[in-house]
Structure 1
Amino acid sequence: MSPMRMNPKIAVGVVFVASLFMSIMDTTIVNVALPAIGREFGTDPAGVGVINVGYLVSLAVFVPLSGWLGDRFGTRRVFLASLALFTVASLLCGAAGSMTSLTLYRILQGAAGGLLTPVGMTMLFRAFPQEERMRATRILMLPTAVAPAAGPVLGGWLVDGWSWHWVFIVNVPVGLAALVFGLLALPDYRAERAGRFDAAGFLLSAVGFGAAMYALSEGASQGWGSARIVASALVGGCALAALVVVELRLPEPMLDLRLFRDRIFRTTNLLSLFSGAAFLGMLYLFPLLMQDALGMDALHSGLMVFPEALGVMLASQIASRLYPRIGPRRILATGSAVVACCLALMATIGPDSNLWAVRALMFVTGYAMSHVFMPSQTAAFATIGARDTGAASTLYNAQRQLGSALGVAVLGTVLTAVGAVTVNASGTPVANLAAYRAAFLTAAGLALAAAAISLLVRDSDAAATMRAVPAGGTGEGAAESVAEPVGKG
C-alpha cells in the first residue's frame, strides 16, 4: 500500500510517539499486575517475574538486528510489521490461560519491542535534518517521560477495577490506530546498500546481550553468587567480548562498533548509560519505598511518581530553546548534577516526610532529567552520516536497554545487600530504611558519574544540531537528502 502524501515529520512523529508510548509503558504497567497474575496461576512472587525477564531478554536479543533489517527491507515495512506483532502479542498476553503461554507471548512482545524503538528512531532522525534534531528529540520526550510514570497509575486502576488481563489488552486499540495511520501515511527510508547479513554478529549479540540482560535482571533476586547467574554472566561476557573482536574485523558488521570512534557519539552514549541507570533505577526503587516501606497502595504510589513526567514535559520546552544558544555541554553537566542532588535528597524520605515535598522533589528530578535526555540524544547523532543512522540508532538503543537493566541491578543489589527488611525489638519484621537510603545514594553516585562524563562533551562537535532553522523553512528538502523516501514498503 502506497502512503498518502503527508509531511514525513508529522507522519513519523505521530506513529512513533504512539508506538513508543505503548512499548515503554508496557515495561512498567505489568509490574503492578504481577501479584494478581501470580495468584491466578498459583505462582509465587519469584516465579511470576519470569514474564518480565522473558520480555527483557527477548528485547535485548532483537535490538541489534533492527538496524540491518531496516536498511535491508525498509524502515516502513519493518516498523509496521513490528507494530503489528506487538499488538497481536499484547492481545495474546491478555487472553493467556497459563503461565507458560503468557511467558511465550511476552517473549513475542519483546521481539517486536526490540525492533520498534531503534527503527522508529532511525525514521525520526531521517525525517528531521540536523538543525531540527532538537525538535525531533522533544517529540520523544512525551512517551519517554509520561509512559514510565503513567504505567503504574493506569496499571493500578485497571487491576483494581477490572483484571490483570487489561494491562495487556489496553495496548490493542493504540496499536491498531497507529498501524492504520502508519499504513496510510508513513514514508519509507532505505539505505543505498544494506550489506550482507552478519550471522556471526547476530548469534554472538543474541547470546551476549540475552545472557547479560538475564544476569542483570535476576542477579539481585537470585543472588549474584548463584550458579545460574554466574554462568549467565560468564557466557554473556565472553560472547560480548567475542562480538567486539568479530565485528571490528568485518567490513559490514551488524553492530558497527567503529561508530564509537566518533568522539561525541561515544561520549554521549557513555553519559546516557550512567544517567539512564540512575534515573530508571530510581523509578524502580521509588515505588518499592512508597509501597513496601511506607505502606502506600500501588495506585497512590504511581501518582507520587507522576510529577516527574510533568517536570520532563515542562523542561522539554526550555531545554530545546537553550540548546542552540549555549550547546549541550553546560546543559548536560548542570542537569546531571541537579539529578544527583535530588536522588541524594530522596535518601531522606521516611514516614514523617511531607508528601507534597516529595512530589516537588520528583518534579524537579524530572525537570533536571529532561536537560540530560534531550541534549544527549540530540548531540549523539550530530556527526553521524546519513548512511550510518540506522546502525547508530541500534547501538544507542542497545546501550539504553543495558543502562536501564544496570540501574535496576545495581540498586536492587544494594537493597538486598543492606537488607530491605529488618526485625525490630519485638521481633516483628519492618522495612529497613537504611537500605533504601544506601540505594538512593548509589543512584546519586551514578548521576554524578554522568555529570563528570558530560564535561568531556565538546559543543563544537554538536554544531550541526545547533544551527537555527531558516525562517519559513520546513527542512523537508534536507530530510529527503538524508534518505530518499521510496514511497511504498
Structure 2
Amino acid sequence: MVFVAANFMAIMDTTIVNVALPAIGRDFGVNPSGLSSVNVGYLVALAVFIPVSGWLGNRFGTRRTALTALLLFTVASGLCATADSLEALTAYRVLQGVGGGLLTPVGMTMMLRAFPVAERLRAQQYAMLPTAVAPALGPVMGGWLVDTASWHWVFLVNLPVGALALLFGLGALPDFPGPRTPRFDLPGFVLAGAGLAAVLYALTGAPGRGWASMGTLGPLVGGSVFLTALIPWELHARHPMIALRVVKDQLFRTTQLVLLPTGAAFMGVLYLYPQFLQSSLGYDALHSGLATFPEALGMLTASQIVPRLHDRVGPRCLMVVGGAGAALIIVLLAILTVAPRPLALYPSMYLLGTSVGLLFASAQNAAFVTIPASRTADATTLLNMQRQTAGACGVALAGTLAASLGGDGIYAYLIAFITLATLCLCASLFALRVSDRRIREAYDASDLPSRHAEPTAPGRAAGL
C-alpha cells in the first residue's frame, strides 16, 4: 500500500504539472519559455538521487529511507503550493525530485524482498497501478484542477495521499535490511548522478532546443563522458555506488533489452498522441487526456491477465505477443493520423495499454527471478535508471521526428508513429532470447524460505 501510494504520486507528478504551467506563468508574470526550470529542477534531482537510492536503503534500512523520502516528497508538495515566485517553486520542485528519486527504487526493493519469487506476480497486480494509471490521469486531473480551482491544487492533491501513506507506513511497514555498505562511493555518485541528470536534461529538451544547440550538445556530450567513465570506476571500486556486475545475470540483462525500446516507444506515443489530437482533430487539453486514458485501463487489464497466463503459456510468449501487439497498434495509430476515425482511437489506446502491460508485467517480473535478495537494491537502481533514460529517449525521438518532418503535418506523425512501432517490434525480437526454463527453475527454488531476507517487525525497525 505504501509503495503503490508513493509511486503513484511520484509518477503522476511528472505529467500533472505540465498542464498547470500556463497558469503558473500568468501568476508569476513569466513567459511559458521561462518555466522550464519547474520541470528541469524536478527531473535533475530525480536523476541524481536514483543512483544513490540503493546505497541509502542498504545503509539506513529500507523502512527509514522510504518513509523519509515519502515525508520529503509530501512536505515539498505543500511548499510548492505556497510558492510565491518562480525561484521558490523551482527550489521546492528540486526537493520533490529528491524524494521522488528515492521512492520508486527503494519501494521496489522492499516489494522484491517481501515476496518470494513465485508470489511476485500477484503483488505486481497492485504494484502496476501507478505505472498504468498515473501518466494518463495526470493531464486529466491537472486540467480539471486548474480549470475548477487553481494551479496550487496540482500540488495540494499530494498531501492527503502522502500523509495517509506516511502514517500507515509508520505503524505497519516492516524493514528489509540489506548488506551494509561501509563507505560512500563519492566518485561513483558524482559520475552517475551528474551523468544521468545531464543526459536526461539534454534528451528532454532536445525537441524544443534542437539537437545542434549547445543547450543540447553540451550536456549530452558531458553526461555521456561521465557515464562512460562510470563503468570502469564502478567495476573496480571496492564498494561501488552501482553494482554494474548485476548485469552479468543473463536474464536480467535480456529483460532490460526488452524493456528499454518498449519504454521509449510507449512514452513517445504518450507524448505524441495528445499533440496529434489537439493539432489535427481540435481536441482541448482535457479531452485529449480523456482520449488517452483507455491506455491505463488496458494496462490494468493486462496486470490481471498475466498471473493467470504466466504458467500456461510462459513469460517469453507474453513478452513476444505484447511487443508485437503494441507494434501493430501503433501502426494502426499511424494510419489513423492519415485517415482519422475518432471512435477507433479509444479501443486502439486500450489495446495498446493491454499489449504494453503484457510485456511490462512479464519482463519486470522475469528481471528479478534470478537476482539474489541481497542484490535487489542494485538491480532496482539500474532498472529505474534505464526506465528514466528510456522515457526521455522516446520523448526526444518522437518530438524530433514530428518537428523535423513538418511540425503539425499528419505525415510527420505518421513517420514518428511507425518509428515507435519499430522499437516495439525490436523488443519483441529481444524477448525471444528469454529462457522460460530458467524462470521455472527459479520459481521452484523459491520454495526455500532461506533464500529470502526476513523482514524486521515495525516495532524493532528504525523509525524516522
Mark yes or no: TM-score above 0.5.
yes
CA contact (8 A) 2:188 2:234 kept: yes
Checking the alignment, whether the CA contact within 8 Å between 1:127 and 1:479 is kept in structure 2 is: no
1:437 is matched with: 414
Contact 1:339 1:447 in 2 (8 A): yes
Q: 1:449-488 residue pairs with structure 2 within 5 A? A: 449-464=426-441, 466-467=443-444, 478=449, 481-485=452-456, 487-488=460-461
Matched, 1:207 2:194: yes
8 Å Cα contact 1:133-1:465 kept in structure 2: no
Look up the equivalent residue of 1:456 and give its one-letter code: R
Instruction: Assess if the C-alpha contact under 8 Å between 1:87 and 1:171 holds in 2.
Output: yes
| d(CA) in 1 for partners of 2:27, 2:413 | 31
Q: 1:122 is paired with a residue of what secondary structure?
A: helix
Aligned residue number for residue 168 of structure 1 = 155
1:36 Cα offset (Å): 1.5
* Equivalent pair of 1:278/1:446 in contact (CA under 8 Å): yes
By how many angstroms is 1:392 displaced? 0.8
Q: CA 1:479–1:75 in structure 2 vs 1: closer, same or farther (change >3 Å)?
A: farther
In structure 2, distance between residues paired with 1:41 and 1:175: 27
Q: CA deviation at 1:400?
A: 0.6
1:69-80 → structure 2 map (5 Å cutoff): 69-80=56-67
Gaps of 5+ in 1: 1-13, 421-430, 470-474
* Structure 1 pair 432–80 and aligned structure 2 pair: CA distance change class (3 A): same
- After TM superposition, give the deviation of residue 480 of structure 1 in Å: 8.8
Match of 1:447 in 2: 424
Residues 1:419 and 1:45: Cα distance change in structure 2 (over 3 Å) = farther
1:464 positional shift: 4.7
Following superposition, the deviation at residue 252 of structure 1 comes to: 2.2
Q: Tell me if structure 2 keeps the 8 A contact 1:329–1:457.
A: yes
Residues of 2 paired with 1:94 and 1:291: CA distance? 28
User: What secondary structure does 1:348 align onto?
Assistant: helix
CA distance in 2, matches of 1:267, 1:278: 18
Q: CA deviation at 1:298?
A: 1.3
TM-score (ref. length: structure 1): 0.91
Task: Name the counterpart of 1:342.
Answer: 329
Equivalent residue, structure 1, for 2:140 = 153
Structure 1 residues 367 and 465 mapped into 2: Cα distance closer, same or farther (>3 Å)?
farther
Q: Give, in whole Å, the separation in 2 of the partners of 1:213 and 1:294.
A: 31
Name the residue aligned to 1:40.
27
Describe the superposition over 1:120-167 as per-residue Cα deviations: whole angstroms up to 9, x where unpaired: 000001100011121122222111101111111111110110111111
Which of 385, 408, 422 does residue 398 from structure 1 map onto?
A: 385
Task: Tell me, in whole angstroms, the C-alpha distance in 1 between the residues paired with 2:275 and 2:40.
Answer: 18
TM-score, normalised relative to structure 2: 0.96
Corresponding residue for residue 254 of structure 1: 241
Question: Is 2:204 aligned against 1:186?
Answer: no
Give the alignment partner of residue 409 of structure 1, picking from 373, 396, 401.
396
**1:116 equivalenced with 2:103 (yes/no):** yes
- Describe the superposition over 1:157-192 as per-residue Cα deviations: whole angstroms up to 9, x where unpaired: 101101111111100110000000000100011113
Provide the secondary structure at the position in 1 that maps to 2:336. coil
Match of 2:124 among 137, 140, 149: 137
Contact 2:369-2:443 at 8 Å conserved across structures = no
CA apart distance, 1:484: 3.8
Question: Is 1:197 the counterpart of 2:175 in the alignment?
Answer: no
Verify: 1:225 aligned to 2:212, yes or no: yes
Contact 2:53–2:381 (Cα < 8 Å) also in 1: yes
Q: Distance in 2 between matches of 1:37 and 1:437?
A: 33
- What does residue range 352-431 of structure 1 map to in structure 2 within 5 Å? 353-420=340-407, 431=408
* C-alpha distance 113-210 of structure 1, shift in aligned 2 (>3 A): same
2:274 to 283, 287, 291: 287
- Superimposed CA distance per residue, residues 259-301 of structure 1 (whole angstroms, 9 cap, x where no aligned partner): 1110010111121111111111111111111123322111111
Q: What does residue 15 of structure 1 align with?
A: 2
Paired residue for 2:17?
A: 30
CA contact (8 A) 1:131 1:468 kept: no
| Aligned equivalent of 1:263 | 250
Contact 1:156 1:299 in 2 (8 A): yes
| Alignment partner, residue 472 of structure 1 | none
- Percent sequence identity is 51
Deviation at 1:105, TM superposition (A): 1.0
Partner Cα separation in structure 2 for residue 58 and residue 293 of structure 1: 35
